Amino acid sequence: MKRIILGLAIIALLLTTTLQLASAAGPEWVTVNPGDTLFSIASRYGVTVELLMRANNLPNANFLYAGQRLLIPDPLMQFPNQPAPNVPAPAVQNVTQAQPAASSVFYTVRPGDTLAAIAARHGVSVAAIAQANNLTNWNFVWYGQRLRIPGATMPAPQPAAPPPAQNVALSPAPANAPTEGKWIDINVSAQTITAYEGTVPLKSVRVSTGVARTPTVLGTYKIYRKHALMRMTGGTPGIDYYDLPNVPWSMFFYKGYAIHGTYWHNNFGRPMSHGCVNLTKEDAKWFYDWTPVGTTVISHR
């Protein structure tokens, strides 16, 4: 009987030690999988969404992408704006004040920014910024993303936001163009979109159509559905997967191909998309308000 009691006591001691070690486990890194949300990851690891956002400098709780690495912090880790735990302050000692090392600054990505341009502007390497922000894709930053710039002593001035695109020089209309009613011309070679009323052009602006591996379809189509705001996902996980919330002013004209507003780049006038036709948010709203379902769309070179 004494042996049984002693054995149970040893097992209880081992369980207590294991739980203490588990509770003392430090932070860890996880990789975002397709379909993950910040809420599901926070629930899975027993932390709050707010703590995850602070630990990873995330400006938008609704935006993650497959392959992104996230720090799962220990609840006692401290981040900007996070209140310190209620622990006694150490006694103040008379010591020599050390000179502060070069500190990090934070930079908010503007339209047209690239990681290389941001690094050059702050005098640091692309690798340093990527490592500081756990970026797995050095070719992808998005408008509004908040980046930590390690080693910078002062923030660089934010570039002024570019003005909305204005009307551009008209390209010739296609040979099969309608002669009456509303219709939309997408010129892939010129990277323009033009709204026509019969033979009269009303508005023509720069766009970004599909890149070589995911080109925009060519032909004559019709707008078959519209969404003022929607989430878009696609691509190949681990290669070019994207998950973009709140894409504004989308008008679908063939299967998953749409004309829509774009907040993640400002390189209009050159191919950038997975096949859709990217416009500024302001121009996309103008076309969205002007275009009824059933409007003809002609996409050509």
For residue 128, the domain's CATH number is 3.10.350.10
Asked whether residue 100 is domain-assigned, the answer is no
b/e map of 228-248 (b: 16 or more CB within 10 Å)?
eebebeeeeeeebbebbeebb
C-alpha span between 109 and 58 (Å, rounded): 12
For residue 247, the domain's CATH number is 2.40.440.10
Asked whether residue 45 is domain-assigned, the answer is no
Query: What pLDDT does 11 receive?
Result: 63
pTM for the model: 0.49
Half-sphere exposure of 282 (CA within 13 A, CB side): 11
C-alpha span between 285 and 165 (Å, rounded): 13
Kindly list the distances between the CA atom of residue 6 and the CA atoms of 1, 2, 18, 145, in Å, as whole numbers in the listed order.
9, 6, 19, 58
Which ranges of 24-114 does DSSP label H, i.e. alpha helix? 38-45, 49-56
- Cβ 207 vs Cβ 192: under 8 Å: yes
Asked whether residue 32 is domain-assigned, the answer is no
C-alpha span between 209 and 274 (Å, rounded): 8
Same domain, 197 and 287: yes
Asked whether residue 74 is domain-assigned, the answer is no
Asked whether residue 97 is domain-assigned, the answer is no
Question: Looking at residue 212, what DSSP letter applies?
Answer: T
Query: What pLDDT does 22 receive?
Result: 42
Containing domain of residue 274, as a range? 182-300
Same domain, 117 and 188: no
Number of separate domains in the chain: 2
Residue whose C-alpha is closest to residue 135's, from 69, 58, 51:
69
Query: What pLDDT does 9 receive?
Result: 61
Same domain, 247 and 188: yes
C-alpha span between 182 and 203 (Å, rounded): 12
Same domain, 140 and 191: no
Largest CA distance in the chain: 100
- Cβ 189 vs Cβ 301: under 8 Å: yes
pLDDT per residue rounded down to tens, the chain (301 residues): 656 665 666 666 555 554 444 444 445 788 888 778 888 888 888 888 888 887 777 766 776 777 787 888 766 554 444 443 443 444 444 444 444 444 568 888 876 678 888 888 888 888 888 888 888 777 777 767 788 888 765 444 444 444 444 566 677 888 889 999 999 999 999 999 999 999 999 999 999 999 999 999 999 999 999 999 999 998 888 777 888 999 999 999 999 999 999 999 999 999 999 999 999 999 999 999 999 999 999 999 9
Asked whether residue 35 is domain-assigned, the answer is no
Asked whether residue 254 is domain-assigned, the answer is yes
- Which residues contact residue 257 at a Cβ distance below 8 angstroms, ignoring those fewer than 6 apart? 216, 217, 275, 276, 277
Asked whether residue 21 is domain-assigned, the answer is no
Question: Looking at residue 202, what DSSP letter applies?
Answer: E
Same domain, 263 and 190: yes
Query: What pLDDT does 27 receive?
Result: 57
